[in-house]
């Protein structure tokens, strides 16, 4: 028996386009001798349709698309993910398509309702296993979260399954694949059953699905693993229900997986939404340099426009480094000096400001002028502005509303500053595109004379560690103190995180690469006074 794994890149709502990809892969799979093909979770409509699932017209369109797809397929059994309306309830479903019709349908048993998942909002939970006979093998169907707990696989085993197939739309975050291996290995061993795990690939708003589908034998041994971050059709050979060894893709480094995730997330956001390209504010700093490198790798140099906007506080080396990088990656590059605009704003505001001293107001004014210029270029030419701020800045509010936060996509929104440096080093190992001085010089917003980031923030290694502990791990102040960080830094960082929720609510969507990003993962009230309460209790 040969089973085809169709690791495909789906677009939410593109029922015709997604069905065409399924048909194309089914034709190729049949040509290679496969008799059964698996597709990812909700492959017909894309994951996740979110509140489209609350629209009766959308659910009806999905039903029609499923029946149409069944008639378009070649003579091969295909398991397809789709929403299934049944009476007043909607299910996250997988249907077995064979002979031009739907022969069986499975309803997902476990509905994740945490992190980026809201499935309890949309779906009812199924109750029964689905096991179908294919080529003399009894195949049990599971959907994504079903494999993370023992019961659904056990139900399939009790219903006679000799092989488990798991259909997934499992989003990427760092070290996610190793967690998947461990969980699926448990399911295989405790049930003494092989498992075929197919995962979606592609970017969908803040989520990136990394693919990396794989097959385990009944002992939990890895028999096949597909490449991450790219569509793939792979044929897996079975002797009765047991897989034989197939292609196993070498593991990527942490930096490589993050870089690929960011690149795929940006490419799919731009291309799936029909933008002709991107425009980036290039400052001569490390964040904009990484953003530019990713944009060129994701989209091609012809779709990237970088704009350097020097002020009186911009160092000559920043301008020179920006020019050098633009030449290295061979993109469209412009320079627009903002001092005349800045002076004009100060003149207009002088009756209000009088003799008040220079402070963050004048710093933010520069950032907002730059944001306005980038948005004007975006409006005129249609390219989307990709902002360059990182997770460390977003966490503590070291960013300007309607300034460096202005744009349509925040590529580094979930990338801590320390990881930014690691990614720059990784990219330069492939080929030199980022001038070394950009990486080695102290980071600065260059909004006032002789400014460096550490004037306003703790060292980034300390800052990022506290952010990770408080934001991603939900540790208390007491727990973070126990990690060895000074209480003054802890209180300062947490206060900045808490009071800048209002900024983060107004930031663009960006790629999620940690297990808790500033998006669907973390939903905190803007108006809240808990910070001072906990600080008092600790002291």
- Catalytic site positions: 41, 108, 144
Contact 6, 213 (CB under 8 A): no
Bridging pattern class, strands 304-308 and 332-335: parallel
Tell me how crowded residue 529 is: count the other CB atoms within 10 A of its CB: 8
Q: What element of type H or E holds 134?
A: strand 131-134
Please give the structure tokens belonging to residue 121.
Answer: 């909002």
8-state DSSP, 225: E
**Torsion (CA) 497, 502, 508, 509 in degrees, nearest 10:** 60
Q: How many CB atoms within 10 Å of residue 476?
A: 14
Query: What element of type H or E holds 196?
Result: strand 195-199
What do you get for the CA distance between the two ends of the chain, in Å?
66
Report the alpha-carbon distance of residue 232 to residue 216 in Å, rounded.
Answer: 18
Return the ∠ at Cα 418 (arms to 473 and 396), rounded to 5°: 60
3-class DSSP state of 513: coil
Reduce the secondary structure of 397-418 to three states and give it as a string.
CCCCCCCCCCCCEECCCCCCHH
Q: Of all helices (H) and strands (E), which one includes residue 20? A: helix 15-31
Q: How far apart are CA 520 and CA 527, in angstroms?
A: 18
Q: Using alpha carbons, select from 175, 432, 386, 145 the residue that is nearest to residue 287.
A: 386
Q: What single DSSP character describes residue 468? A: I
User: Residue 42 region, left (φ>0) first, then alpha (ψ -120 to 50), else beta?
Assistant: left
- Give backbone dihedrals phi and psi of 168, rounded to 5 degrees, phi first: -135, 145
SS3 37: strand
């Amino acid at each position: 028996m040969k089973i085809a794994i169709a690791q495909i890149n789906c677009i939410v709502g593109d029922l015709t386009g997604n069905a065409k990809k399924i048909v194309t892969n089914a034709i190729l799979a049949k040509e290679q001798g496969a008799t059964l093909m698996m597709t990812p979770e909700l492959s017909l409509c894309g994951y996740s349709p979110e509140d489209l699932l609350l629209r009766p017209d959308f659910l009806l369109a999905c039903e029609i698309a499923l029946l149409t797809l069944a008639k378009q397929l070649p003579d091969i059994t295909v398991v397809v993910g789709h929403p299934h309306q049944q009476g007043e309830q909607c299910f996250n479903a997988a249907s077995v398509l064979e002979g031009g019709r739907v022969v069986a349908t499975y309803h997902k048993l476990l509905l994740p309702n945490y992190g980026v998942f809201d499935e309890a909002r949309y779906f009812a939970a199924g109750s029964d296993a689905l096991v179908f006979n294919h080529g003399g093998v009894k195949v049990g169907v599971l959907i994504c979260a079903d494999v993370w707990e023992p019961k659904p696989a056990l139900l399939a085993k009790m219903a006679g399954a000799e092989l488990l197939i798991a259909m997934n739309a499992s989003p990427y975050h760092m070290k996610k694949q190793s967690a998947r291996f461990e969980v699926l290995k448990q399911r295989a061993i405790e049930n003494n059953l092989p498992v075929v795990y197919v995962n979606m690939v592609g970017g969908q708003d803040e989520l990136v699905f990394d693919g990396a589908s794989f097959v385990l034998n009944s002992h939990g041994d890895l028999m096949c693993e597909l490449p991450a971050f790219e569509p793939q059709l792979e044929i897996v050979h079975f002797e009765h229900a047991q897989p034989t060894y197939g292609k196993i893709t070498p593991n990527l480094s942490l930096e490589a997986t993050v870089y690929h995730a960011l690149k795929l997330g940006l490419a799919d956001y731009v291309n799936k939404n029909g933008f002709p390209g991107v425009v980036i504010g290039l400052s001569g700093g490390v964040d904009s340099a990484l953003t530019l490198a990713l944009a060129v790798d994701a989209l091609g140099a012809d779709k990237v426009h970088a704009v350097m906007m020097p002020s009186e506080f911009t160092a000559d080396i920043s301008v020179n480094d920006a020019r050098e990088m633009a030449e290295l990656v061979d993109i469209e590059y412009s320079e627009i000096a903002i001092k005349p605009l800045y002076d004009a704003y100060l003149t207009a505001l002088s009756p209000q400001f009088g003799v008040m001293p220079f402070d963050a107001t004048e710093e933010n004014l520069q950032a907002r002028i730059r944001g306005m210029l980038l948005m004007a270029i975006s409006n005129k030419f249609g390219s989307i502005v990709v902002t360059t701020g990182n997770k460390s800045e977003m966490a503590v509010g070291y960013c300007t509303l309607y300034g460096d936060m202005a744009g349509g996509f925040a590529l580094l929104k979930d990338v801590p500053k320390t990881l930014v440096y690691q990614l720059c080093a990784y990219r330069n190992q492939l080929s030199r595109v980022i001038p070394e001085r950009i990486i080695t010089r102290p980071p600065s917003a260059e909004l006032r004379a002789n400014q460096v980031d550490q004037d306003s923030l703790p060292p980034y290694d300390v800052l990022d560690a506290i952010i990770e502990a408080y934001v991603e791990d939900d540790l208390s102040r007491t727990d973070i103190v126990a990690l060895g960080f000074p209480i003054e830094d802890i209180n300062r960082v947490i206060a900045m995180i808490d009071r800048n929720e209002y900024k983060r609510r107004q930031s663009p969507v960006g790629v999620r690469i940690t297990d808790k990003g500033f998006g669907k993962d973390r939903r905190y009230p803007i108006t809240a006074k808990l910070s001072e309460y906990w600080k008092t209790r600790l002291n």
